[in-house]
Structure 1
Amino acid sequence: MSESTARPGSATDPGSRNRTLILTLILAVQLMIAIDITVMNMALPRIQQDLGFSPAGLSWVLNAYTLAYGGLLLLGGRMGDILGHRKALVIGVALFTAASLLGGLAQSSWWLLAARAVQGIGGALAAPSTLAIVVTTFREESARNRALGIFVMASGLGTAGGLLLGGLLTDAASWRWVLLINVPFGLVVALLAPRFIPASQVQRGRFDVGGALTATLGTTAVVYGFVNAAERGWSEALTITAFAVGVLLLAVFVAIEARHRQPILKLGLFAHRDRSGGFLVFICSGAAMFGMFFLLTQFVQEVLALSPFGAGLAFLPMAVLMFIVPAQVTPRLVTAVGAKPTMLTGLAMITAGMAWLTAVSAGSSYAGAILGPMLLFGAGVGLLNPPLTGTILASVPPQDSGAASGVLQAVGMIGGSVGTAILVTIFGTSIRNATPPPGLDEATRASTVLADAVAAACVGGALFAAAGFLLVLLVIRSTKRTAPAGDPAPATS
């Protein structure tokens, strides 16, 4: 039965739905997608040992997912409109689940990376439909607000909980279970969704496949250029070719979007000064935060010798502040001083945290070198993202609000991937050119080289955060003292 031909009183009739069960299924999908953004971080050192990744190449375990997810997110939203949200959700969850199984069984680096990319594709197809199904299922305003509040909480819980879950599973069993745990939950959702989630109206339209492919492949080529530069140098032929192909594909993407009748990216969304500036700030903050996750998960395990679960606990203070600050502090501060000063305060904290990390060394301790930056990141992101989201969406016409929200999430993911690649370039180059003091034993030498590389890369992270601060200061205009938007923040992912 198609989505547009549901019979009254049938399993696809919204009037017969158990809304609690529908919300439970949607939350399961959202948790799987959000968890997989961070869950692999704690498993990275073990994955490197088992599958033989290079220090720079290891970043692809994260970027293969985020590039596919962010690059195809807008196409996934369009597919939900044309195919029906339930169908897009089921297809996406089925792909995500199959890829999780294949990734958990991976015997080589390329096998794992291919599975991670397919996971990202599945997530991009399913994620836009989750929110759409919540909105159409809960039609009364009070019920919808409660459901959306739970949905947003699940997004944040998944992102933060992924760090703890990844560490726990890696410690208790194997890094493979970080992926395999998705399989039973995905199967349950894929089997129950067609029965219990109501059908949605489908729309006529065309898929902007050319735009989606050129955007994703162009960004991937640029990221590959940075990672290859870290491993083989800037003058290597493959590095130059990757950058050239990436720039060419992104130029083609812009040309396609300017001419397509139903583009996945409306270029007019970037015409507004505050909106375009806000998107750039999300790229900068996402680059700093994604890069920080990649670097510190290795530092706390390889240099501080924490177990994967201990490494997850090390991030807990930051995660707690990411929950508390947006709910309790940010709305009051925005009301008192306005959105722009609040954003500047958050970015100043993120910049200070990254600058603090430039001093880490092989002799650093968690309390002395890591805890302080963690607290600054948690508070800074909590102050930055809600008013920044509100600033971007405030000037969007109602008919474009869905497209703008999708761009916001995609920008955060792609910015994080490109930023991670740039910081990994610094990280890998530092390792390749390292000259530690003579006389060190092998373990101390390895810790020294890695710690110095983390410190060098964090200089780049501090520059990203500082660039975001300057963009808010010079580009975004002062805004009214209104409560910030409560949307989940892409940059924390």
Structure 2
Amino acid sequence: MTALTSSPTRTPHRTYSRWASLVVLCAGALMTILDGTIVTVAMPAMQTDLGFSGAGLAWVVNAYLIPFGGLLLLAGRLGDLLGRKRMFTAGIAVFTVASVLCGLATGRGLLVAARALQGVGGAMASAVVLGMLVALFPEPREQARAIAVFSAVGAGGATLGTFLGGALTQALSWHWIFLINLPIGVVAWLAAIRVLSPEPGAGLRDGADYPGAALVTGALMLTVYVIVGSGDRGRTATLLPAALAVALFVAFAVRQTRTERPLLRPRLFRSRLLTGANAVQILMVATMYGFQFIGALYIQRVLGFGELATGLAFLPAPVVIGVLMMTLSARTVGRFGAYPVLLTGLMLIAGGMALLSRARADGSYASDVLPPMLLLAAGFAAAMPPLTGLAMSGAPEEDAGLASGLFNTTQVVGGSLGLAALSTLAASRTGTLLARGAELVPATAEGYRLAFRVATGIAVAALVLAGAMLRPRNR
């Protein structure tokens, strides 16, 4: 995404219109972010209704995340060429239509296909938001406030989706977690048309790396396909798509060194901070997505909570994330520095996952879920702002937009891969125990505990990697 590379010198004439534009941008981004997690609590109902397998159920989420992450760079580039307002409004329209198709789905194939279309629309809308925001608020202090609001909305919205999914599923049905986007999307689209200032693009003559986008998107989709289905297929059927995924990644890397307008410039990876921050983010987000998905299933299938109760059980997380990001994050980083605050946040995440890995078959929400949830929320609120700052500080000014697109992409990739790997591990362990004669609830709980233990290891790996790669260098 290259949205940030455009000059932010033009300021809207009226202050209120800038903040109204921020509200519209946050609303559009929130709708796409919520949809990444709103399905979590509704998954058991979808599985019962449509007959998904345990591992295949993860594709309800991954079908959204993979095109979303794979197309962010291309969508950002097209936003520069065609105009960012045009790309944002088109993305909201595609997302809204796809949501209706999801809500009307009566089969597994149609639901997964519509979720993929949602991911396309989400990428179109999300890729240009940060560039539009920076152009709206060129003054540093106001820009910092606007970015803080946008970051808090995004971080809290990801977890808030769990609550909304539970409420809508229990009160109506799982179809309504998608159909509710119709009135919201229409209002957001009309508001964007009216409020956002038009920004003419550079024109399609400057071109974009469409083959590169196809290569990296195909590689990501194959990678998750291999992880999700590894427990259901033989070695040969797993190795062949894995080899093809590696080949596509290699072809993408080679193309980026030879094409005149690469989607991802190789010189970016010479920066230790940018490379390290993106690698840490993949591991950290994989842990957090694993918690949201596996944690919701543990609360429902082991503790016996209904959809609405599960949504309420997750509600403390977005509250903690929003409050800490809005009140303490910038102040704490300014006082102690990004590196120690980041390490503290990662230690809290690792500690929360370690506590969660002790969750029992006869456990309770108050002792087995709430304490680790609060640690995870506090850790994410502490770690995300300094990690973002470190990533962007490692990019030269002319590549700031591309670095922003890369950071958004690795966030989605980390969530998708973490969700695929952890859900597959849990399903495989549970199936093995059931085959040995274990009872359903204890076997299910043990599968989730294994996933939580692996997630703890991933969080520790993120902490070690951050300590090694992001340490400030002395003069």
Deviates more, 1:127-136 or 1:416-425: 127-136
Aligned to 2:210: 209
SS in 1 for 2:392: helix
Moved more, 190-199 or 277-286: 190-199
Alpha-carbon spacing, 1:26–1:335, altered in 2? closer, same or farther (3 Å): closer
Question: 2:445 is matched with which residue: 443, 448, 451?
Answer: 451
Deviates more, 1:74-83 or 1:269-278: 269-278
CA distance in 2 between counterparts of 1:31 and 1:173 reads 22
Whether the 8 Å CA contact 2:87–2:125 is kept in 1: the answer is yes
Tell me the equivalent position of 2:7: none
**2:461 is matched with which residue: 453, 461, 467?**
467
2:33 aligns with: 34
Give the direction of change, closer, same or farther, for the CA distance of 1:196–1:338 in structure 2 (3 Å limit).
closer
Provide, for residues 56-89 of structure 1, a one-character-per-residue CA deviation record: whole Å limited to 9, x for no partner.
1111111111111111111111010001112111
Q: What does 1:421-436 align with in structure 2 at a 5 Å threshold?
A: 421-435=420-434
Tell me the alpha carbon deviations over residues 272-295 of structure 1, each in whole angstroms, 9 at most, x when there is no partner. 122211111001101111111110
Structure 1 range deviating more: 254-263 or 150-159:
150-159
C-alpha distance in 2, partners of 1:240/1:327?
A: 46
In the other structure, the counterpart of 1:72 is: 71
User: Equivalent residue for 1:258?
Assistant: 257
Q: CA shift at 1:325, angstroms?
A: 2.8
Corresponding residue SS for 1:198 = coil
1:273-320, CA deviations, whole angstroms, 9 ceiling, x for partnerless residues? 222111110011011111111101111011111121211121222222
**TM-fit CA distance, 1:213:** 1.3
1:93 aligns to what? 92
Letter in 2 for 1:455: R
In the alignment, what sits opposite 1:489? none
Alignment of 1:46-125 (within 5 A): 46-125=45-124
Identify the residue that residue 227 of structure 1 maps to in structure 2: 228
Structure 2 CA distance for partners of 1:217 and 1:472, relative to 1, 3 Å = same
Distance 1:469 1:78, change over 3 A: same
Match of 2:245 in 1: 246
Task: Please give the alpha-carbon distance, in whole angstroms, between the structure 1 residues aligned to 2:156 and 2:292.
Answer: 16
In structure 2, distance between residues paired with 1:371 and 1:363: 15
Which residue in 2 is equivalent to 1:390? 389
CA contact (8 A) 1:339 1:478 kept: no
Shift of 1:167: 1.1
The separation in 1 between residues aligned to 2:17 and 2:468, in whole angstroms, is 50
| Pairwise CA distance, 1:121 | 0.6
SS in 2 for 1:434: helix
Secondary structure of 1:263 counterpart: coil
Q: Structure 1 residues 182, 435: closer, same or farther in 2, change over 3 A?
A: closer
Separation of aligned partners in 2, 1:139 and 1:391: 20
The aligned residue for residue 376 of structure 2 is 377
SS in 2 for 1:231: coil
Matched, 1:285 2:279: no
Retained in 1: the 8 A contact 2:429–2:446?
Answer: yes
Cα deviations across residues 386-426 of structure 1 (Å, max 9, x unaligned)?
11111111132111111111111110110111122111221
Residues 338, 478 of structure 1: 8 Å contact kept: no
The corresponding residue for 1:354 is 353
Question: Relative to structure 2, which stretch is displaced further, 146-155 or 400-409?
Answer: 146-155
| Conservation of the 8 A alpha-carbon contact between 1:226 and 1:425 | yes
1:160 aligned partner: 159
The 1:333–1:135 alpha-carbon spacing in structure 2 relative to 1, beyond 3 Å, is: closer
Distance 1:93 1:392 in 2: 28
Q: What are the residue-to-residue correspondences of 1:120-159 with 2, within 5 Å? A: 120-138=119-137, 144=143, 146-159=145-158
Q: Secondary structure at the match of 1:40?
A: coil
Aligned amino acid, residue 60 of structure 2: V
**Larger displacement relative to structure 2 (348-357 or 165-174):** 348-357
Q: Give the conservation status (yes or no) of the 8 Å contact 2:342–2:382.
A: yes
Task: For residue 59 of structure 1, give the secondary structure of its aligned residue in structure 2.
Answer: helix
Matched-pair contact (CA < 8 Å) for 1:88–1:125: yes
Per the TM alignment, residue 160 of structure 1 is displaced from its structure 2 partner at its CA by: 3.0
CA distance in 1 between partners of 2:349 and 2:84 (Å):
37
Q: CA deviation at 1:140?
A: 5.8
Amino acid at match of 2:59: W
What whole-Å deviation, never above 9, does each CA across 1:150-173 have from its counterpart, x for those lacking one? 433432342232122111111110
8 Å CA contact 1:321, 1:375 repeated in 2: yes
Name 1:4's counterpart in structure 2: none
Q: Distance in 2 between matches of 1:333 and 1:129?
A: 29
CA contact (8 A) 1:294 1:420 kept: yes
Q: 1:418 and 2:412 equivalent?
A: no
**Maintained 8 Å contact 1:231/1:428:** no
Aligned to 1:218: 219
> How far apart, in 2, do the equivalents of 1:68 and 1:61 lie?
13
Q: What is the CA distance between 1:114 and its match in structure 2?
A: 0.7
Equivalent residue, structure 2, for 1:401: 400
Are residues 138 and 272 of structure 1, via their aligned partners in 2, closer, same or farther at CA, if it must alter by over 3 Å? closer
What is the correspondence of 1:307-346 to structure 2 with a 5 Å cutoff?
307-346=306-345
Deviation of 1:231 after TM superposition, in Å, equals 2.7
Cα 1:366–1:278 change in 2 (3 A) is same
Does the aligned pair in 2 maintain the 1:338–1:479 contact within 8 Å?
A: no
Aligned-residue offset at 1:23: 3.7
Classify 1:409/1:318 alpha carbon distance in 2 versus 1 (closer, same or farther; 3 Å): same
Task: Flag structure 1 segments of 5+ consecutive residues without an equivalent.
Answer: 1-12, 481-493
Which segments of 5 or more consecutive residues in structure 2 lack a partner in the other structure? 1-10
Letter in 2 for 1:29: G
Shift of 1:477: 1.9
Q: Distance in 2 between matches of 1:78 and 1:105?
A: 33
Following the alignment from structure 1 to structure 2, what is the Cα–Cα distance between the partners of residues 241 and 457?
26
TM-score, length-normalised on structure 1? 0.88
How far off is 1:37 after superposition?
A: 1.7
Rounded Cα–Cα distance in structure 1 between residues aligned with 2:340 and 2:144:
28
3-state DSSP class of the match of 2:261? coil
Contact 2:148 2:326 in 1 (8 A): no
Q: Which residue of 1 aligns with 2:4?
A: none
Tell me how far apart the structure 2 counterparts of residues 339 and 138 of structure 1 sit (CA, whole Å). 23
